[in-house]
């Protein structure tokens, strides 16, 4: 089992959720609002005036638990989604040592 974490600009929240719901190997995912703090690039078209003034960018974090064999197909579907995620999101994958329900 793998833990896939995505962080994307909040502008993509609705479209991203729709895409994730359409991928048949994804049973469920968790979506949370987070703030991106760091050096702001002036050429980032998704930075609003508000983002530049307050010094952080609104993002969403998506957590998914997937079988290893499904990771590449999920990432491919996101890359091919045409919602503009290219260069506006990051992800990482970690191993899950144990998974069960309480």
CA distance 96 to 94: 7
Residue 59: strand pairing partners: 9, 34
- pLDDT grade, residue 57 (50/70/90)? confident
Two tokens, residue 41 = 């690039």
Q: Give residue limits of the domains in the chain.
A: 2-95
**pLDDT score recorded for residue 11:** 87
CA distance 9 to 28: 20
CA distance 24 to 43: 36
List, edge to edge, every strand of the sheet that includes 56-66.
Answer: 30-37, 56-66, 2-9, 89-95
**pLDDT score recorded for residue 76:** 94
Two tokens, residue 102 = 């309480």
CA-based R_g, the chain, Å: 15
Q: Tell me the CATH number of domain 2-95, given options 3.30.70.920, 3.30.70.120, 3.30.1330.10, 3.40.50.10490.
A: 3.30.70.120
pTM: 0.84
Return the higher-pLDDT residue of 91 and 54. Answer: 91
């Amino acid at each position: 089992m793998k833990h896939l974490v995505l962080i994307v600009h909040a502008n993509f929240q609705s479209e991203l959720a729709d895409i994730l719901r359409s991928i048949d190997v994804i049973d469920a995912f968790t979506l949370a609002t987070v703030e991106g703090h760091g050096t702001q690039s002036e050429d980032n078209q998704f930075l609003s005036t508000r983002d530049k003034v307050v010094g952080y960018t609104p993002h969403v974090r998506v957590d998914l638990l997937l079988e290893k064999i499904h990771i590449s197909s999920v990432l491919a579907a996101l890359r091919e989604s045409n919602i503009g995620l290219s260069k506006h999101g990051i992800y990482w994958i970690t191993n899950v040592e144990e998974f069960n329900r309480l």
